[in-house]
Amino acid sequence: MVHNPEVIRNLLPDKVKKSFDDIVNQVVLGASNHIRMIGDMIEAIALEGKEKSEDVMTIVDKIKEVTKYFIATRGEASQAISNAIYIMIEGINNYSSTDDIDYVVSKIIEKKDNYNKKSKEDIDKVVEYSVKVAKDMGNIFVYDYSSTVEKFLRALVRNNKKYTIYIAESRVIDGGYPFVKACEESGHDIKFIPDSAIMYNLVKCDAAFMGAETFFADGTGFNTTGSDIVGLVCHTYNIPLYFLTPMIKLDTRPIYGGRKNIVFNDLKKKLSSSWSKDINVDKIDFVTPELIGVSPEHIRAFITEFGVIPSKQLYNISLDYSKSMKEGLE
């Protein structure tokens, strides 16, 4: 059962309520950004609890309620968020009311900080390998928004050349816009296009790059609606499509008979805000999937902290990674 967001919001210290709102209202995009912001909430709850001399279990219960909410909501769309939360709060059920509050708070924050440090190291490797892949390219296509892809676009300056970056608007979340500033500041030439012009413009590009909200061991990558169109066009015209993602975004549920539930968004406000008032929008269905799967045969490779892995070779690497992550949480 997913709690009312207002109930969860009221558990948070004031200084992180805006972060909660920005995630829930999709003001801030990208799984990596959301994980960082959830980590900030965990730390803020712990520090406020210490400041107010709350019982240890009160702090623990607040953290569990907030993280359960994000696992049930954002985690359903992006397995990375669930995976990261489990790592950040690993061992939290071992604390009791008799534990020293200073010790508990320090351990909670230390666990979160250790995750952030490892995450940064992994993403730095993804960016490093991606820049090398793009070394001999000139025109690059990017879709949706991903903080990892943004870091990649900024890091392209290491290749000492000027790129033309084709940015599709990704209309359902205005996902292309956040890339514009990064590309301007990095000196790239920018071609900003409506997502309906994907096919016309992709054929001019050397490769397409996008982030992954999550991915399966079989090489299926999930990203914002429209990503499947990018994959299909890339496959049709033999244009390499690379998914930039740390392995933390792996979803292993299908391996064991589980499934990923499609998350849907109602885009009524976003799509009809400029419509004539004499149209009854309440009688129109604006619901569309938040994420969509891109077939493995449409993806050239996943660029991870382990290197550039062809989509059809991802399975065993994913199993090994899943096993190591579970062992680390035991």
The conformation of residue 192, written as its DSSP 8-state character, comes to: E
Indicate the pTM of the whole model.
0.78
pLDDT value of residue 326: 58
Q: What are the 10-residue block averages of pLDDT along the chain, 330 residues in total? A: 80 92 84 89 94 92 93 80 88 88 94 92 97 98 92 96 93 80 94 93 97 92 92 97 94 81 83 87 89 95 97 93 64
Nearest to 171 by CA among 191, 149, 194: 194
Cβ contact 69:2 at 8 Å: yes
CATH code of domain 5-121:
1.20.120
Instruction: Please report, for the chain, the start and end positions of each structural domain, with discontinuous segments joined by +.
Output: 5-121, 123-329
d(C-alpha 38, C-alpha 19), whole Å: 8
Count the helix, strand and coil residues of the chain and give each as a percent rounded to the nearest 5: 55, 15, 30
Burial class for 314, CB neighbours closer than 10 Å (0-12, 13-18, 19+) = buried
Tokens at 153, concatenated: 């676009």
Paired strand residues for 287:
266
Parallel, antiparallel or unpaired: strands 241-244 and 221-224? unpaired
Domains 5-121 and 123-329 share a fold: no
Specify the residue for token string 């230390």: 110
pLDDT digits (tens, 9 = 90+) for 52-98: 999 999 999 999 999 999 988 887 777 788 888 988 998 888 898 88
Q: Coil, strand, or helix at residue 54?
A: coil
| CATH topology assigned to domain 123-329 | Rossmann fold (3.40.50)
Q: What is the DSSP letter of 248?
A: G
User: DSSP characters for 57-84?
Assistant: HHHHHHHHHHHHHHHHTHHHH-HHHHHH
* The pLDDT of residue 173: 72
pLDDT digits 0-9 by tens, 165-190: 999 987 777 778 889 999 999 999 99
pLDDT value, residue 328: 46
Q: How far is CA 288 from CA 46, 76, 172, 267, in A?
A: 37, 16, 9, 7
- Distance from C-alpha of 310 to C-alpha of 143, rounded to nearest angstrom: 20
